[in-house]
Structure 1
Protein backbone atom coordinates (compact mmCIF):
# COMPACT_ATOMS: atom_id res chain seq x y z
CA UNK A 1 0.00 0.00 0.00
CA UNK A 2 1.07 3.56 -0.63
CA UNK A 3 0.06 6.64 1.37
CA UNK A 4 -0.09 10.28 0.35
CA UNK A 5 -1.33 13.15 2.47
CA UNK A 6 -3.54 15.32 0.26
CA UNK A 7 -3.89 17.76 3.13
CA UNK A 8 -2.06 17.71 6.47
CA UNK A 9 -2.59 20.59 8.90
CA UNK A 10 -2.98 18.77 12.24
CA UNK A 11 -6.74 19.26 11.99
CA UNK A 12 -9.09 17.78 14.59
CA UNK A 13 -10.74 15.60 11.94
CA UNK A 14 -9.18 13.36 9.31
CA UNK A 15 -10.50 11.42 6.34
CA UNK A 16 -8.66 8.35 5.09
CA UNK A 17 -9.49 7.59 1.46
CA UNK A 18 -8.93 4.04 0.24
CA UNK A 19 -8.94 4.92 -3.44
CA UNK A 20 -9.84 3.03 -6.57
CA UNK A 21 -7.58 1.21 -9.02
CA UNK A 22 -5.16 3.24 -11.17
CA UNK A 23 -7.11 6.52 -11.07
CA UNK A 24 -5.18 8.48 -8.44
CA UNK A 25 -6.20 11.23 -6.03
CA UNK A 26 -6.80 14.10 -8.44
CA UNK A 27 -10.52 13.27 -8.65
CA UNK A 28 -10.74 14.70 -5.11
CA UNK A 29 -8.78 17.90 -5.74
CA UNK A 30 -11.88 20.15 -5.83
CA UNK A 31 -13.40 18.95 -2.55
CA UNK A 32 -13.29 21.53 0.24
CA UNK A 33 -13.32 21.11 3.98
CA UNK A 34 -11.34 21.52 7.20
CA UNK A 35 -10.36 17.86 7.44
CA UNK A 36 -6.90 16.47 6.85
CA UNK A 37 -7.00 13.89 4.06
CA UNK A 38 -4.82 10.78 3.63
CA UNK A 39 -5.01 8.92 0.31
CA UNK A 40 -4.29 5.17 0.19
CA UNK A 41 -3.57 3.27 -3.02
CA UNK A 42 -1.82 0.20 -4.50
CA UNK A 43 -3.36 -2.97 -3.13
CA UNK A 44 -0.76 -5.47 -4.31
CA UNK A 45 -0.12 -6.11 -0.62
CA UNK A 46 -1.91 -4.90 2.47
CA UNK A 47 0.79 -5.31 5.10
CA UNK A 48 1.52 -1.65 5.81
CA UNK A 49 0.30 0.21 8.91
CA UNK A 50 -1.54 3.49 8.52
CA UNK A 51 0.17 6.61 9.85
CA UNK A 52 -0.64 7.40 13.48
CA UNK A 53 -4.09 9.04 13.61
CA UNK A 54 -4.48 9.03 17.39
CA UNK A 55 -4.14 12.81 17.58
CA UNK A 56 -7.40 13.31 15.67
CA UNK A 57 -10.71 13.70 17.48
CA UNK A 58 -12.66 12.06 14.64
CA UNK A 59 -11.48 9.86 11.76
CA UNK A 60 -13.66 8.83 8.82
CA UNK A 61 -13.02 6.15 6.21
CA UNK A 62 -14.06 6.86 2.62
CA UNK A 63 -13.53 3.70 0.56
CA UNK A 64 -14.08 3.78 -3.19
CA UNK A 65 -14.29 0.87 -5.62
CA UNK A 66 -11.57 -1.73 -4.88
CA UNK A 67 -10.73 0.35 -1.81
CA UNK A 68 -13.78 -1.09 -0.03
CA UNK A 69 -12.55 -4.69 -0.02
CA UNK A 70 -8.91 -3.63 0.38
CA UNK A 71 -9.80 -1.77 3.55
CA UNK A 72 -11.78 -4.69 4.96
CA UNK A 73 -8.94 -7.14 4.29
CA UNK A 74 -6.46 -4.69 5.83
CA UNK A 75 -8.70 -4.16 8.87
CA UNK A 76 -8.68 -7.86 9.73
CA UNK A 77 -5.16 -7.56 11.12
CA UNK A 78 -5.31 -4.06 12.61
CA UNK A 79 -7.10 -2.03 15.24
CA UNK A 80 -10.01 -0.05 13.82
CA UNK A 81 -9.13 3.67 13.85
CA UNK A 82 -12.41 4.86 12.30
CA UNK A 83 -15.46 6.51 13.83
CA UNK A 84 -17.43 6.33 10.58
CA UNK A 85 -17.13 4.30 7.39
CA UNK A 86 -18.55 5.26 3.99
CA UNK A 87 -18.35 3.13 0.84
CA UNK A 88 -18.59 4.52 -2.69
CA UNK A 89 -19.31 2.22 -5.64
CA UNK A 90 -17.52 -0.83 -4.30
CA UNK A 91 -18.30 -3.97 -2.31
CA UNK A 92 -16.67 -6.43 0.06
CA UNK A 93 -16.69 -9.01 -2.76
CA UNK A 94 -14.90 -7.11 -5.54
CA UNK A 95 -14.76 -10.01 -8.01
CA UNK A 96 -18.10 -11.78 -7.83
CA UNK A 97 -20.85 -12.41 -10.36
CA UNK A 98 -23.61 -11.34 -7.98
CA UNK A 99 -21.95 -8.84 -5.66
CA UNK A 100 -19.04 -7.25 -7.52
CA UNK A 101 -17.33 -7.16 -10.90
CA UNK A 102 -18.08 -10.34 -12.87
CA UNK A 103 -15.01 -12.62 -12.83
CA UNK A 104 -14.79 -12.87 -16.63
CA UNK A 105 -14.74 -9.08 -16.93
CA UNK A 106 -11.99 -8.85 -14.32
CA UNK A 107 -9.92 -11.52 -16.07
CA UNK A 108 -10.23 -9.84 -19.47
CA UNK A 109 -9.30 -6.47 -17.96
CA UNK A 110 -6.15 -7.88 -16.37
CA UNK A 111 -4.96 -9.98 -19.27
CA UNK A 112 -5.72 -7.38 -21.93
CA UNK A 113 -4.40 -4.39 -20.01
CA UNK A 114 -2.66 -1.87 -22.25
CA UNK A 115 -2.47 1.88 -22.60
CA UNK A 116 -5.38 1.72 -25.06
CA UNK A 117 -7.56 -0.45 -22.83
CA UNK A 118 -6.80 1.82 -19.88
CA UNK A 119 -8.17 4.77 -21.85
CA UNK A 120 -11.36 2.75 -22.35
CA UNK A 121 -11.48 1.92 -18.65
CA UNK A 122 -11.24 5.59 -17.75
CA UNK A 123 -14.05 6.41 -20.15
CA UNK A 124 -16.27 3.81 -18.46
CA UNK A 125 -15.24 5.05 -15.02
CA UNK A 126 -16.33 8.62 -15.75
CA UNK A 127 -18.86 7.91 -18.54
CA UNK A 128 -17.02 10.54 -20.56
CA UNK A 129 -13.73 10.88 -22.47
CA UNK A 130 -10.76 11.58 -20.20
CA UNK A 131 -7.32 13.12 -20.67
CA UNK A 132 -4.51 10.55 -20.98
CA UNK A 133 -3.06 9.28 -17.69
CA UNK A 134 0.22 7.49 -17.13
CA UNK A 135 -0.13 3.83 -16.14
CA UNK A 136 2.46 1.26 -15.08
CA UNK A 137 0.98 -1.71 -16.95
CA UNK A 138 2.88 -4.44 -15.10
CA UNK A 139 2.21 -3.00 -11.64
CA UNK A 140 -1.46 -2.38 -12.24
CA UNK A 141 -1.96 -5.83 -13.78
CA UNK A 142 -0.30 -7.33 -10.70
CA UNK A 143 -2.66 -5.31 -8.54
CA UNK A 144 -5.69 -6.68 -10.40
CA UNK A 145 -4.40 -10.22 -9.96
CA UNK A 146 -3.85 -9.58 -6.24
CA UNK A 147 -7.37 -8.23 -5.77
CA UNK A 148 -8.87 -11.24 -7.55
CA UNK A 149 -6.73 -13.76 -5.63
CA UNK A 150 -7.56 -12.16 -2.29
CA UNK A 151 -11.27 -12.74 -2.86
CA UNK A 152 -14.12 -11.51 -0.73
CA UNK A 153 -13.19 -9.56 2.38
CA UNK A 154 -14.26 -10.29 5.94
CA UNK A 155 -17.55 -8.72 6.96
CA UNK A 156 -17.13 -5.09 8.02
CA UNK A 157 -20.03 -2.83 8.93
CA UNK A 158 -20.18 0.36 6.89
CA UNK A 159 -22.37 3.23 8.05
CA UNK A 160 -23.37 4.18 4.51
CA UNK A 161 -22.92 3.12 0.88
CA UNK A 162 -23.21 5.40 -2.14
CA UNK A 163 -24.38 3.60 -5.29
CA UNK A 164 -24.28 5.18 -8.74
CA UNK A 165 -27.08 4.18 -11.09
CA UNK A 166 -24.83 4.49 -14.15
CA UNK A 167 -21.82 2.65 -12.74
CA UNK A 168 -20.20 0.71 -15.59
CA UNK A 169 -17.49 -0.85 -13.40
CA UNK A 170 -19.39 -2.27 -10.39
CA UNK A 171 -22.93 -3.01 -11.65
CA UNK A 172 -25.40 -1.13 -9.49
CA UNK A 173 -27.65 -4.20 -9.11
CA UNK A 174 -24.71 -6.13 -7.66
CA UNK A 175 -23.97 -3.30 -5.27
CA UNK A 176 -27.56 -3.26 -4.05
CA UNK A 177 -27.37 -6.98 -3.33
CA UNK A 178 -24.03 -6.59 -1.59
CA UNK A 179 -25.21 -3.76 0.68
CA UNK A 180 -28.56 -5.19 1.73
CA UNK A 181 -29.21 -4.03 5.28
CA UNK A 182 -26.82 -1.06 4.97
CA UNK A 183 -27.94 2.55 4.64
CA UNK A 184 -27.79 3.23 0.89
CA UNK A 185 -27.75 6.61 -0.81
CA UNK A 186 -28.28 6.59 -4.54
CA UNK A 187 -26.89 8.70 -7.35
CA UNK A 188 -29.23 7.63 -10.15
CA UNK A 189 -27.57 9.34 -13.13
CA UNK A 190 -23.94 9.25 -11.99
CA UNK A 191 -20.89 7.23 -13.10
CA UNK A 192 -18.49 5.00 -11.15
CA UNK A 193 -16.42 8.09 -10.25
CA UNK A 194 -19.12 10.39 -8.81
CA UNK A 195 -16.98 12.95 -7.06
CA UNK A 196 -17.60 15.88 -9.41
CA UNK A 197 -21.18 15.85 -8.10
CA UNK A 198 -19.92 16.96 -4.67
CA UNK A 199 -18.23 20.18 -3.62
CA UNK A 200 -17.15 19.24 -0.09
CA UNK A 201 -15.80 16.27 1.82
CA UNK A 202 -18.62 16.67 4.32
CA UNK A 203 -21.25 16.09 1.64
CA UNK A 204 -19.62 12.73 0.84
CA UNK A 205 -19.24 11.46 4.38
CA UNK A 206 -22.37 12.77 6.09
Structure 2
Protein backbone atom coordinates (compact mmCIF):
# COMPACT_ATOMS: atom_id res chain seq x y z
CA UNK A 1 0.00 0.00 0.00
CA UNK A 2 0.96 3.64 -0.20
CA UNK A 3 1.40 5.85 2.87
CA UNK A 4 1.58 9.63 2.80
CA UNK A 5 1.45 12.29 5.51
CA UNK A 6 -1.41 14.74 4.99
CA UNK A 7 0.07 16.70 7.87
CA UNK A 8 3.40 16.21 9.63
CA UNK A 9 4.45 18.77 12.21
CA UNK A 10 5.66 16.53 15.02
CA UNK A 11 2.49 16.51 17.11
CA UNK A 12 2.38 13.90 19.91
CA UNK A 13 -0.81 12.37 18.49
CA UNK A 14 -1.03 10.68 15.08
CA UNK A 15 -4.26 9.99 13.26
CA UNK A 16 -3.76 6.92 11.09
CA UNK A 17 -6.26 7.08 8.23
CA UNK A 18 -7.06 4.12 5.99
CA UNK A 19 -9.00 5.47 2.99
CA UNK A 20 -11.29 3.56 0.66
CA UNK A 21 -10.65 1.85 -2.65
CA UNK A 22 -9.59 4.06 -5.52
CA UNK A 23 -8.33 6.92 -3.39
CA UNK A 24 -5.14 8.93 -3.14
CA UNK A 25 -4.30 12.02 -1.11
CA UNK A 26 -5.94 14.60 -3.41
CA UNK A 27 -9.49 14.56 -1.94
CA UNK A 28 -8.06 15.14 1.55
CA UNK A 29 -5.08 17.47 1.10
CA UNK A 30 -7.14 20.63 1.57
CA UNK A 31 -8.72 19.57 4.88
CA UNK A 32 -7.53 21.27 8.09
CA UNK A 33 -6.19 18.85 10.71
CA UNK A 34 -5.41 19.35 14.39
CA UNK A 35 -2.69 16.68 14.54
CA UNK A 36 -0.38 14.76 12.24
CA UNK A 37 -2.29 12.55 9.80
CA UNK A 38 -0.81 9.55 7.98
CA UNK A 39 -3.00 8.36 5.13
CA UNK A 40 -2.93 4.83 3.71
CA UNK A 41 -4.37 3.96 0.31
CA UNK A 42 -3.93 1.67 -2.73
CA UNK A 43 -4.27 -1.78 -1.22
CA UNK A 44 -2.92 -3.64 -4.24
CA UNK A 45 -0.32 -5.03 -1.84
CA UNK A 46 -0.66 -5.19 1.96
CA UNK A 47 2.82 -3.85 2.78
CA UNK A 48 2.86 -1.35 5.67
CA UNK A 49 5.86 0.67 6.88
CA UNK A 50 5.43 0.60 10.65
CA UNK A 51 8.50 2.81 11.15
CA UNK A 52 6.44 5.81 10.07
CA UNK A 53 4.64 5.51 13.41
CA UNK A 54 7.81 5.93 15.47
CA UNK A 55 7.86 8.78 18.00
CA UNK A 56 4.13 9.24 18.49
CA UNK A 57 2.72 9.07 22.01
CA UNK A 58 -0.77 8.22 20.82
CA UNK A 59 -2.13 6.70 17.60
CA UNK A 60 -5.78 7.01 16.68
CA UNK A 61 -7.18 4.94 13.85
CA UNK A 62 -9.84 6.13 11.41
CA UNK A 63 -10.84 3.79 8.58
CA UNK A 64 -13.32 4.32 5.79
CA UNK A 65 -14.90 1.91 3.30
CA UNK A 66 -12.46 -0.82 2.13
CA UNK A 67 -9.96 0.76 4.50
CA UNK A 68 -11.88 -0.73 7.44
CA UNK A 69 -10.90 -4.22 6.35
CA UNK A 70 -7.33 -3.27 5.42
CA UNK A 71 -6.80 -1.44 8.71
CA UNK A 72 -7.96 -4.49 10.65
CA UNK A 73 -5.59 -6.70 8.65
CA UNK A 74 -2.65 -4.41 9.42
CA UNK A 75 -3.56 -4.12 13.10
CA UNK A 76 -3.90 -7.89 13.45
CA UNK A 77 -0.62 -8.64 11.67
CA UNK A 78 1.51 -5.93 13.30
CA UNK A 79 -0.21 -5.27 16.62
CA UNK A 80 -0.33 -1.51 16.08
CA UNK A 81 -0.35 0.54 19.32
CA UNK A 82 -3.75 2.10 18.62
CA UNK A 83 -5.54 3.87 21.47
CA UNK A 84 -8.87 4.44 19.71
CA UNK A 85 -10.36 3.04 16.49
CA UNK A 86 -13.28 4.36 14.45
CA UNK A 87 -14.80 2.72 11.36
CA UNK A 88 -16.91 4.63 8.83
CA UNK A 89 -19.04 3.02 6.11
CA UNK A 90 -17.13 -0.24 5.85
CA UNK A 91 -16.94 -3.67 7.46
CA UNK A 92 -14.30 -6.29 8.32
CA UNK A 93 -15.92 -8.46 5.62
CA UNK A 94 -15.87 -6.15 2.58
CA UNK A 95 -16.89 -8.79 0.04
CA UNK A 96 -19.67 -10.78 1.69
CA UNK A 97 -23.22 -11.73 0.80
CA UNK A 98 -24.81 -10.27 3.93
CA UNK A 99 -22.12 -8.25 5.78
CA UNK A 100 -20.38 -6.38 2.97
CA UNK A 101 -20.65 -5.93 -0.78
CA UNK A 102 -22.08 -9.09 -2.32
CA UNK A 103 -19.58 -11.01 -4.51
CA UNK A 104 -22.03 -10.95 -7.41
CA UNK A 105 -21.77 -7.15 -7.31
CA UNK A 106 -18.10 -6.70 -6.40
CA UNK A 107 -16.64 -9.08 -8.99
CA UNK A 108 -18.52 -7.71 -12.05
CA UNK A 109 -17.76 -4.16 -10.87
CA UNK A 110 -14.07 -5.00 -11.11
CA UNK A 111 -14.32 -6.90 -14.39
CA UNK A 112 -16.32 -4.16 -16.14
CA UNK A 113 -14.53 -1.16 -14.70
CA UNK A 114 -13.95 1.61 -17.24
CA UNK A 115 -14.11 5.39 -17.06
CA UNK A 116 -17.87 5.47 -17.53
CA UNK A 117 -18.52 2.93 -14.78
CA UNK A 118 -16.00 4.63 -12.50
CA UNK A 119 -17.91 7.91 -12.87
CA UNK A 120 -21.16 6.10 -12.07
CA UNK A 121 -19.58 4.56 -8.98
CA UNK A 122 -18.34 7.93 -7.76
CA UNK A 123 -21.79 9.46 -8.19
CA UNK A 124 -23.27 6.67 -6.08
CA UNK A 125 -20.45 7.06 -3.57
CA UNK A 126 -20.94 10.81 -3.11
CA UNK A 127 -24.55 11.43 -3.94
CA UNK A 128 -25.46 13.73 -6.82
CA UNK A 129 -25.04 16.97 -4.85
CA UNK A 130 -21.54 16.22 -3.48
CA UNK A 131 -20.20 14.61 -6.66
CA UNK A 132 -19.10 17.89 -8.30
CA UNK A 133 -17.19 18.98 -5.20
CA UNK A 134 -15.44 15.60 -4.95
CA UNK A 135 -14.38 15.76 -8.59
CA UNK A 136 -12.64 19.10 -8.04
CA UNK A 137 -10.07 17.19 -5.97
CA UNK A 138 -10.51 13.73 -7.46
CA UNK A 139 -7.82 11.04 -7.11
CA UNK A 140 -5.21 11.08 -9.87
CA UNK A 141 -5.05 7.39 -10.73
CA UNK A 142 -5.74 5.44 -13.92
CA UNK A 143 -8.72 3.14 -14.37
CA UNK A 144 -6.36 0.19 -14.87
CA UNK A 145 -4.64 1.01 -11.59
CA UNK A 146 -7.97 1.07 -9.76
CA UNK A 147 -9.05 -2.17 -11.44
CA UNK A 148 -5.87 -3.90 -10.28
CA UNK A 149 -6.36 -2.65 -6.74
CA UNK A 150 -9.99 -3.76 -6.57
CA UNK A 151 -9.10 -7.20 -7.90
CA UNK A 152 -6.43 -7.58 -5.24
CA UNK A 153 -8.83 -6.50 -2.48
CA UNK A 154 -11.50 -8.96 -3.63
CA UNK A 155 -9.04 -11.84 -3.87
CA UNK A 156 -7.39 -11.28 -0.49
CA UNK A 157 -10.59 -10.53 1.40
CA UNK A 158 -12.19 -13.76 0.16
CA UNK A 159 -9.11 -15.86 0.93
CA UNK A 160 -8.11 -14.51 4.35
CA UNK A 161 -9.88 -15.04 7.68
CA UNK A 162 -11.94 -12.13 9.00
CA UNK A 163 -9.40 -9.79 10.66
CA UNK A 164 -9.85 -8.72 14.26
CA UNK A 165 -9.42 -5.13 15.41
CA UNK A 166 -10.55 -3.46 18.65
CA UNK A 167 -12.99 -1.02 17.07
CA UNK A 168 -14.49 1.43 19.55
CA UNK A 169 -17.27 2.69 17.31
CA UNK A 170 -18.66 2.35 13.79
CA UNK A 171 -20.37 5.18 11.92
CA UNK A 172 -22.95 4.09 9.35
CA UNK A 173 -24.32 6.34 6.61
CA UNK A 174 -28.06 5.96 6.17
CA UNK A 175 -27.64 6.92 2.52
CA UNK A 176 -24.72 4.59 1.78
CA UNK A 177 -25.30 2.93 -1.62
CA UNK A 178 -21.96 1.06 -1.60
CA UNK A 179 -21.87 -0.67 1.80
CA UNK A 180 -25.60 -0.89 2.44
CA UNK A 181 -26.63 0.11 5.98
CA UNK A 182 -28.29 -3.23 6.70
CA UNK A 183 -25.07 -5.05 5.82
CA UNK A 184 -23.09 -2.77 8.11
CA UNK A 185 -25.58 -3.23 10.94
CA UNK A 186 -25.27 -7.01 10.72
CA UNK A 187 -21.48 -6.90 10.51
CA UNK A 188 -21.07 -4.73 13.60
CA UNK A 189 -23.70 -6.62 15.55
CA UNK A 190 -21.75 -9.79 14.77
CA UNK A 191 -18.51 -8.12 15.93
CA UNK A 192 -20.25 -6.69 19.04
CA UNK A 193 -19.11 -3.18 18.10
CA UNK A 194 -21.38 -0.22 18.94
CA UNK A 195 -22.49 1.88 15.99
CA UNK A 196 -24.30 5.08 15.21
CA UNK A 197 -26.40 5.86 12.14
CA UNK A 198 -25.81 9.23 10.47
CA UNK A 199 -27.59 10.92 7.58
CA UNK A 200 -24.77 10.81 5.01
CA UNK A 201 -23.79 8.98 1.82
CA UNK A 202 -20.87 6.54 1.48
CA UNK A 203 -18.46 9.47 1.16
CA UNK A 204 -19.00 12.59 3.22
CA UNK A 205 -16.16 15.11 3.34
CA UNK A 206 -17.49 16.99 6.36
CA UNK A 207 -17.90 13.90 8.53
CA UNK A 208 -14.54 12.49 7.47
CA UNK A 209 -12.92 15.77 8.43
CA UNK A 210 -14.58 15.59 11.84
CA UNK A 211 -13.44 12.01 12.38
CA UNK A 212 -9.90 12.89 11.33
CA UNK A 213 -9.72 15.79 13.77
CA UNK A 214 -8.49 14.74 17.19
CA UNK A 215 -10.55 17.25 19.13
CA UNK A 216 -13.81 15.94 17.69
CA UNK A 217 -13.29 12.52 19.25
CA UNK A 218 -15.21 11.38 22.27
CA UNK A 219 -13.46 9.87 25.26
CA UNK A 220 -16.22 7.33 25.74
Query: What TM-score does the superposition give when structure 1 sets the normalisation length?
Result: 0.91
Distance 2:25 2:156 in 1: 24
SS at match of 1:190: coil
Deviates more, 1:81-90 or 1:122-131: 122-131
Q: Report if the CA contact (8 A) 1:86-1:205 is conserved.
A: no
Counterpart check, 1:54 vs 2:57: no
Task: State the Cα RMSD in Å.
Answer: 1.9
Q: TM-score, normalised by structure 2?
A: 0.85
The total of aligned residue pairs comes to 205
Judging by fraction of residues, say which structure has more helix. Answer: 2
What corresponds to 2:152 in structure 1? Answer: 146
* Counterpart in the other structure of 1:166: 175
Gap change, CA 1:136 and 1:202, over 3 Å in 2? same
* Helix, strand or coil at the partner of 2:105: helix
Pairwise CA distance, 1:99: 0.4
Q: State the 1:205 CA deviation.
A: 4.0
Distance 1:203 1:173, change over 3 A: farther
The match for 1:182 among 189, 193, 196 is 193
Structure 2: stretches of 5+ with no match in the other structure: none
Does structure 1 retain, via aligned residues, the 8 Å contact 2:15–2:60? yes
TM superposition shift of 1:12: 1.1
Structure 1 regions of 5+ residues with no counterpart? none
Kindly provide the CA deviation profile for residues 4-50 of structure 1, in whole angstroms up to 9, marking residues without a partner as x.
10000000111010001113334434543421001100111112323
Distance 2:207 2:76 in 1: 32
Q: Which residue of 2 aligns with 1:21?
A: 21
Task: Return closer, same or farther for 1:32/1:135 CA change in 2, 3 Å cut-off.
Answer: closer
How many Å apart are 1:140 and its aligned residue? 1.2
Q: Using the TM superposition, give the Cα deviation of residue 57 of structure 1 relative to its aligned residue in structure 2, in angstroms.
A: 1.7
Match of 1:42 in 2: 42
